[in-house]
């Protein structure tokens, strides 16, 4: 999911979900040993009884005191190994400083409040910043280590710990494929990933999955949902090889934070490297390699195909914006206020930064970050017309949109349709019950959906599989 869209959806910074207690190497074989995270720490929470109410209050006060002193390193020292693995200390510090940049310095910390309605005992700590009041939600293990730390304005509840872990959907058949751990990319940006290979000799049509912006893992995990694992295993169950990989900004985030990054470095180069990786695999039909992008990855999919220079047979766009980021932010924030998921005060900083992005003069770009990216990032993105590029490419393209998606909406779909009007190579399909992650639901889509376990709709997987397998095989 686009990093900007993620922030708007859940009003969180530096707040990934806790790592699952068991990682899956392949559909049929859970790991029998701990997964090793950064620094060689095993992602296994220490055993023991749940913390007492007195301990939670004490620990909440300690974390609040560290934040009040600006000691983000001290807070990070309290992270459990599983949290370190998905939230490195530097990224946590960057996220917290981003909150203070928008809301002023932390001036006082309130008394911690117990939260017993969650799956694990938690504590909520009020945080009074100069311009706004926020809340921190903290979950500790029995040793007083943080397994979850999340932030949100006081007008919005911090996202709660997951209600359930990810479960493979019914459309996944583990007997029909296997996952192979891989490395791809070019030095110094080599990435870890997984290739889901169908059973048999092949050659198989293949898909490269491209995330939106932000430090996504190879499953594009959002809350309790893993869209890319669903897609990879669902498509592989139907005879399509699927490549997914860790995002460069996730693996090399600290290094990249010091560079003038655009979408080329963030997304495009590694997606093209993924295409090259598939071309070298004898199990892959080299004439049927498809780029599938979600959210911002969908917007960039035609640009990736163009950069691959004839190596791509088709493009799949899942909820890809065609409008400017300023327009998208304005619509999202208006929706959140209208449905009661946020107040005008809570979304005002986002809107202000969106206006600054719209006003950027490419000849005199401002310094600093806007919506967590430098001005050059937005200048580059503004110069790119996704739908027009798709038209120019002339490649088969499948564009999918969820009707319940408030993050990328029918207005963006219309942008694709207008540019591709009359193009025989373009196909469009909407899904009435799907949200931005293509998980089905009922009623108005809300930010809280992303914290509930769910899977990509089987209908979505079927449509993609049919389309990919229908591409003409070359010689």
DSSP single-letter state for residue 340? T
Q: What is the pLDDT of residue 95?
A: 79
Q: What is the pLDDT of residue 8?
A: 34
Q: What is the pLDDT of residue 52?
A: 87
DSSP single-letter state for residue 222? B
Domain 174-469 has CATH 1.10.3720.10: no
**Residues 240 and 469 sit within 8 Å (Cβ to Cβ):** yes
Q: Which residues partner with 194 through β-bridges?
A: 181, 244
405 counts as catalytic: yes
- Map out the domains of the chain as residue ranges: 18-153, 174-469
CATH assignment, 18-153: 3.10.450.590
Helices 296-307 and 269-279 cross at an angle (nearest 10°) of 60
**Residues 223 and 273 sit within 8 Å (Cβ to Cβ):** no
**Predicted TM-score (pTM) of this structure:** 0.73
**Residues 124 and 149 sit within 8 Å (Cβ to Cβ):** no
Indicate the SS3 state at residue 160: coil
Q: What is the pLDDT of residue 66?
A: 94
DSSP single-letter state for residue 117? S
DSSP calls for 403-440? TT-SSS-HHHHHHHHHHTTT-TTEEEEEETTB-TTSBB
Buried b vs exposed e over 95-122: b needs ≥16 C-beta within 10 Å? bbebbeebbeebeebeebeebeeeebbb
Identify the active-site residue in 219, 270, 285, 405: 405
Question: Measured in Å, how far apart are the chain's first and last C-alpha atoms?
Answer: 36
436 counts as catalytic: yes
DSSP single-letter state for residue 71? -
Mean pLDDT by 10 residues, the chain (475 residues): 37 30 26 21 46 90 94 90 76 80 88 74 89 88 86 68 69 95 92 95 95 86 89 98 94 83 93 96 96 97 97 97 92 90 83 92 88 89 96 98 96 97 97 96 85 90 98 81
Q: What is the pLDDT of residue 15?
A: 30
Q: What is the pLDDT of residue 85?
A: 67
Q: What is the pLDDT of residue 93?
A: 83
Identify the active-site residue in 295, 380, 412, 457: 295
Helices 344-358 and 3-10 cross at an angle (nearest 10°) of 160
Q: What is the pLDDT of residue 165?
A: 66
Among all chains, which residue has been given the structure tokens 């701990």?
34
Identify the active-site residue in 179, 211, 230, 436: 436
* CA–CA distance, 76 with 39 (Å, rounded to integer): 14
Q: What is the pLDDT of residue 158?
A: 59
**Residues 204 and 197 sit within 8 Å (Cβ to Cβ):** yes
């Amino acid at each position: 999911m686009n990093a900007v869209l993620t922030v708007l959806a859940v009003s969180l910074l530096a707040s990934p979900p806790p790592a699952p207690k068991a990682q899956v190497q392949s559909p049929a074989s859970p790991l029998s040993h701990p997964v090793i995270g950064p620094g060689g720490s095993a992602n296994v929470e220490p055993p023991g009884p749940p913390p007492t109410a007195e301990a939670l209050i004490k620990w909440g006060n300690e974390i609040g005191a560290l934040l009040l002193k600006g000691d983000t390193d001290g807070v990070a020292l309290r992270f459990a190994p599983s949290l370190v693995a998905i939230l490195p200390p530097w990224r946590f510090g960057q996220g917290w400083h981003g909150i203070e940049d928008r809301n002023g310095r932390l001036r006082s910390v309130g008394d911690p409040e117990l939260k017993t309605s969650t799956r694990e005992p938690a504590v909520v700590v009020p945080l009074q910043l100069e311009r706004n009041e926020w809340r921190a939600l903290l979950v500790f293990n029995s040793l007083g280590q943080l397994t979850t730390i999340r932030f949100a304005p006081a007008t919005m509840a911090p996202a709660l710990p997951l209600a359930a872990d990810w479960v493979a959907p019914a459309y996944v058949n583990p007997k029909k494929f296997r996952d192979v751990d891989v490395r791809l990319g070019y030095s110094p940006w080599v990435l870890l990933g997984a290739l889901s290979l169908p059973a048999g000799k092949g050659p198989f049509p293949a898909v490269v999955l491209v995330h939106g912006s932000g430090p996504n893992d190879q499953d594009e995990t959002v809350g309790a949902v893993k869209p890319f694992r669903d897609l990879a295993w669902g498509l592989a169950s139907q005879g399509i090889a699927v490549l997914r990989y860790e995002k460069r900004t996730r693996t090399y985030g600290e290094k990249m934070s010091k560079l003038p990054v655009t979408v080329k470095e963030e997304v495009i180069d590694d997606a093209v490297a993924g295409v090259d990786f598939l071309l070298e695999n004898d199990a892959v039909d080299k004439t049927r390699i498809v780029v599938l992008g979600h959210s911002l990855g969908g917007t960039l999919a035609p640009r990736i195909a163009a950069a691959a220079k004839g190596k791509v047979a088709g493009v799949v766009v899942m909820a890809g914006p065609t409008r400017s980021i300023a327009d998208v932010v304005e619509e999202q924030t208006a929706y959140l206020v209208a449905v009661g998921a946020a107040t005008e005060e809570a979304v005002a900083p986002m809107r202000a930064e969106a206006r600054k992005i719209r006003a950027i003069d490419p000849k005199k770009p401002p310094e600093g970050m806007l919506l967590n990216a430098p001005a050059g990032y937005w200048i580059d993105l503004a110069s790119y017309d996704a739908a027009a590029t798709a038209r120019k490419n002339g490649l088969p393209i499948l564009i999918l949109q969820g009707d319940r998606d408030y993050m990328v909406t029918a207005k963006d779909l219309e942008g694709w349709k207008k540019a591709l009007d009359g193009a025989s190579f373009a196909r469009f399909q909407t899904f009435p019950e799907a949200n931005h992650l293509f998980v089905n639901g009922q009623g108005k889509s809300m930010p809280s959906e992303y914290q509930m376990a769910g899977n990509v709709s089987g209908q979505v997987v079927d449509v993609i599989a049919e389309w990919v397998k229908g591409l003409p095989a070359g010689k």
